[in-house]
Amino acid sequence: MVEFDPKKVNYATLVKQFFRMHDPTQMNRQGPDVGDQYRSAIFYFDENQQKIAEKIKAGIQKNNQKTVVTEVTKATEFYPAEEYHQKFTEKNGHGFCAVEYAPL
């Protein structure tokens, strides 16, 4: 089970990195991958996280001419990806995300 640990990274930083690393204006796709499983979504556990996510999303929208379609929705039951998707970069020596990690 994946759990958010606020001692390791705060929620606002996590949300900002998410927006930095993908195109939040693409509906149900990211690059060549198409389908609702590729939708842009931020999940929150409480009202404070919801407010943080909505505020950051509004800031992204303010600086973007296209509509930001990222969903902000309450977290529900979590289903882990198939084993071959787990730790993909470690297993394959490369990832598919073209954006390098950079601290905010």
Does residue 1 fall inside a structural domain? no
Position 44 pLDDT exceeds 50: yes
Domain of 61? 11-92
Does residue 52 fall inside a structural domain? yes
What is the pLDDT at residue 33? 79
The whole-chain average pLDDT of the chain stands at: 84
The beta strand positions in 61-103, using DSSP E, are: 71-74
Q: Which residues contact 22 (CB under 8 A, 6 or more apart)?
A: 30, 40, 97, 99
Does residue 56 fall inside a structural domain? yes
Residue 16 maps to which CATH number? 3.30.1060.10
Does residue 98 fall inside a structural domain? no
Quote the pTM value.
0.76
Does residue 44 fall inside a structural domain? yes
Looking at the chain, the whole-number percentage of residues with pLDDT higher than 90 is: 43
Pull the structure tokens for residue 60.
């992204």
What is the total count of domains within the chain?
Answer: 1
pLDDT in tens, 57-98: 999 999 999 999 999 999 999 888 888 878 777 777 766 666
Does residue 49 fall inside a structural domain? yes
